[in-house]
Amino acid sequence: MALREIIFLPEPILRRKAKPVTKFDKDLQTLIDDMIETMRDAPGVGLAAPQINLPMQLAVIEYAEQEDDEENEDAPPKPKKLYVIINPEITKVSDEKVMGVEGCLSIPGLLGEVERHAAIQVKALNRHGQPLKLKLDGWMARIFQHEIDHLNGVMFTDKAVRVWKPQEDEEVALD
């Protein structure tokens, strides 16, 4: 496995629609492993192929939803779930939308407040080309929408109602 270089705006590939993946070979498996390692090293919760200068409909996501329940503060953290999505498509969205703060590995030093669907359904292929259907809500739905936007040449700043440079103590999961 190897770390890949994450590119930044204004690199033109970040503004183009990525091409569908058609070959599920050893090279693709190596790329996926490299993307997972790169995402974790960054550190981020998601990484799309255009962010490493590859125009492919491929993204990796790793996140653990945490309970907001004060009674379970001492509970061990939930394990992270790792997703590999290839040629993803959002097939259903909730009417309800929610605002949330987002950052991006390809736009370092900026955060934005973005309105996203509270819940979505996604169909995609997994790393072996097998169909995958996911029902997502909360932060996981937000992360998937952010990464799928990357595959369509859309950056979070395009949808943000407000963008700012974070304070030193301000934390947000980066995708």
Convert the pLDDT of each residue in 92-123 to its tens digit: 999 999 999 999 999 999 999 999 999 999 99
Considering only residues 147 and 66, tell me which one the structure prediction assigns the higher pLDDT. 147
Please give the Cα distance from 50 to 32 (Å, whole number).
13
User: Of 65, 147, 170, 171, which is the active-site residue?
Assistant: 147
Active site residue 73: no
Using the predicted structure, report yes or no on whether residue 132 has a pLDDT greater than 90.
Answer: yes
Architecture of domain 12-67+78-164: Alpha-Beta Complex (3.90)
Please report, for the chain, the start and end positions of each structural domain, with discontinuous segments joined by +: 12-67+78-164
